[in-house]
Amino acid sequence: MQYTITVFGLGFVGLTTSLAFAEKNHKVYGFDINHQRVHLIRSGKLPFAEPGLDSALIRHIDKNFSITNDVEAAVQASDFVFLCVGTPSDEQGAADLRYIYSAIDLFSTILNDGKHRVIVVKSTVPPSTTKERIIPYFIEKGLTPGENFSVANNPEFLREGKCWDDAIHADRIVCGVSDALGESMLRSLYSEFDAPFFPVSLNTGEFIKYLSNTLLATMISYSNEMSKIADVIGDIQIKEAFRILHLDKRWNGSNMASYVYPGCGYGGYCLPKDTRAMHAQAVSKGYDPLLLQNVIEINESMPRYMADKIKQAAKPSNRIGILGLSFKPGSDDVRDSSSAKIISLLLDAGYNNILAFDPVANEAFDRQYNFKEITYCNSLKSICESSDILVIITAWDSFAGIDRKYPDKLIIDCRYFL
Ligand SMILES: NC(=O)c1ccc[n+]([C@@H]2O[C@H](COP(=O)([O-])OP(=O)(O)OC[C@H]3O[C@@H](n4cnc5c(N)ncnc54)[C@H](O)[C@@H]3O)[C@@H](O)[C@H]2O)c1
């Protein structure tokens, strides 16, 4: 069965979702309010670095996948509407739903035309949001979800840097559903994907996503807490200790083990905001989540902890070379990057001789943070040769071996990587 789908939001999740459905031979219309992003995508270029997605875009643009300006016509023709817009933290740490509402405002007027569609919330929203906030939002507009159209959620589990592979070879498809027709349409849409399909209640669908992200955040904060304990005790080979921990057969070689490893805190778009949102959601429902509170506090303490280590080793006049600016290797996403927090603390303390290098994210970092005082280097060699002290903040593979290549350089390895 070939479906027509409109996707709102063409970021990591929306663009990947659009192209994955296009790859399965569905007809996909994409819409985004960011004109610069739209312009790039239309010309066949990705707005971010994402291996595999670039060739998928070239394969499908203006064929199965087209950008639309006429949202109403696209939704009119569609069987599914996917909402993949951002859900950042608001001032209290809760998920800000304004982009979801603004997307709904663009197409809600045509939902009463007699065609049954499924409106799918793919953005990450805290458990109970679809049921208690999004469905009521449609009802306030005089619409009848469940009758004229179905509302569902479908959390996304892709990892940045592996978006395409994770979408095409998904390990599970989870759909929070509210009626049988919506469930069967989603089951049919995903039938081309070789992954188990789990229809669950609306709240369960959302909960599963937070179960995943808060567990990852917890494992990272646990590891960081243990690294701090090891530091105060002293004479503990932290890197070695964690590597030996991973040899436990109970991990069974799992990739998950890499999250039980210390560093300078989790960053990026998802783990910080989703952990805060789950915490805020629990508090709003009357439960004070002690573990999540500490996971967040440990994470927030890490940039200062690392900046203090650098300050102990360096004088303000030293040239400090920051290696890695993206929030993780394999990506040029610099949202909530540890490097930005550490650089900011160093600048505040009068360390103004900062050099920086990332294999792919120099430009994105400069655009987002606009630190006037730092000098960007265009190669690993140039930053290593020009700095007095090197600080590894993102564990890019290409940084391996710099300790052997520059044996006289002091290197502070915030990722226990070398
Ligand atoms: N990035 C990830 O690794 C990841 C993984 C799983 C889930 N998620 C979740 O998916 C959602 C999207 O994340 P992302 O990383 O793709 O975000 P993103 O910031 O890369 O993209 C969101 C896009 O939505 C657009 N947008 C905002 N309002 C709009 C509107 N009314 N109509 C059309 N477009 C609109 C923005 O311009 C932007 O391009 C979030 O809820 C996020 O938590 C992200």
Query: Which of 183, 201, 219 is the last residue in one of the domains?
Result: 201
Nearest to 306 by CA among 349, 342, 356: 342
**CB of 269 shorter than 6 A to ligand 1:** yes
Mean pLDDT of 142-151: 95
Alpha-carbon span 236 to 127, nearest angstrom? 41
Does the residue 132 lie in any domain?
Answer: yes
Does the residue 229 lie in any domain?
Answer: no
24/168 same-domain check: yes
pLDDT at residue 325 greater than cutoff 90: yes
Mean pLDDT of 251-265: 91
Does the residue 89 lie in any domain?
Answer: yes
188/324 same-domain check: no
**CB of 327 shorter than 6 A to ligand 1:** no
324 Ramachandran zone, left/alpha/beta (phi>0; psi -120 to 50): left
Q: Where are the alpha helices (DSSP H) in 190-287?
A: 202-233, 238-245, 270-284
Does the residue 84 lie in any domain?
Answer: yes
Does the residue 324 lie in any domain?
Answer: yes
pLDDT at residue 416 greater than cutoff 90: yes
Instruction: Give distance in angstroms: CA of 14 to centre of ligand 1.
Output: 7
pLDDT tens digits, 5-33: 999 999 999 999 999 999 999 999 999 99
Q: Kind and range of the H or E element at 369? A: helix 362-369
Alpha-carbon span 229 to 220, nearest angstrom? 14
Q: Would you name the residues annotated as active-site residues?
A: 270
**CB of 262 shorter than 6 A to ligand 1:** no
Does the residue 70 lie in any domain?
Answer: yes
Type of residue found at 198: F
19/164 same-domain check: yes
Q: Count of domains in the chain?
A: 2
Q: How many CA atoms lie within 13 A of 313 on its CB side?
A: 18
Q: Which residue has the tokens 């955040």?
A: 217
Q: Which residues contact 379 (CB under 8 A, 6 or more apart)?
A: 357
Percentage of the chain exceeding pLDDT 90: 98
pLDDT tens digits, 215-242: 999 999 999 999 999 999 999 999 999 9
Does the residue 121 lie in any domain?
Answer: yes
Does the residue 306 lie in any domain?
Answer: no
**What range defines the domain where residue 377 resides?**
314-418
Say which CATH number the domain at 144 has: 3.40.50.720
pLDDT at residue 71 greater than cutoff 90: yes
- 155 Cα nearest atom in ligand 1: 7
Mean pLDDT of 111-128: 97
Query: Which of 185, 201, 217 is the last residue in one of the domains?
Result: 201
- 48 Cα nearest atom in ligand 1: 20
pLDDT band at 371 (very low <50, low <70, confident <90, very high): very high
pLDDT at residue 340 greater than cutoff 90: yes
Alpha-carbon span 395 to 413, nearest angstrom? 9
pLDDT at residue 254 greater than cutoff 90: no
Query: Which of 201, 234, 252 is the last residue in one of the domains?
Result: 201
Alpha-carbon span 321 to 340, nearest angstrom? 13
Among 85, 87, 153, 266, which is best to mutate for testing ligand 1, by the most ligand atoms less than 8 A from CB?
A: 85
**CB of 206 shorter than 6 A to ligand 1:** no
